[in-house]
Amino acid sequence: MTLVPELRLDRLRAFAAVAREGGFSRAARALGRTQSSVSQAVALLEDDVGDLLIVRDGRRTALTEAGRVLRDHAERVLAALADARALTPGKACPTEALVAATWPGERIDPTAARNRL
Per-residue model confidence (pLDDT) at position 6:
83
Per-residue model confidence (pLDDT) at position 111:
56
The domain spanning residue 100 has which CATH number? 1.10.10.10
Domain that holds residue 95: 1-117
pTM of the model: 0.71
Tally of domains within the chain: 1
pLDDT tens track, the chain, 117 positions:
566 668 899 999 999 999 999 999 999 999 999 999 999 999 999 999 999 999 998 888 999 999 999 999 999 999 999 998 888 766 655 555 555 545 455 555 555 555 554
> CB–CB of 72/80 below 8 Å?
no
Strand 54-57 versus strand 60-63 pairing type: antiparallel
Count Cβ atoms below 10 Å from residue 81 Cβ, excluding itself: 14
35-49 vs 24-31: helix axis angle to the nearest 10? 110
For residues 117 and 104, give the distance between their C-alpha atoms in angstroms, rounded to a whole number.
16
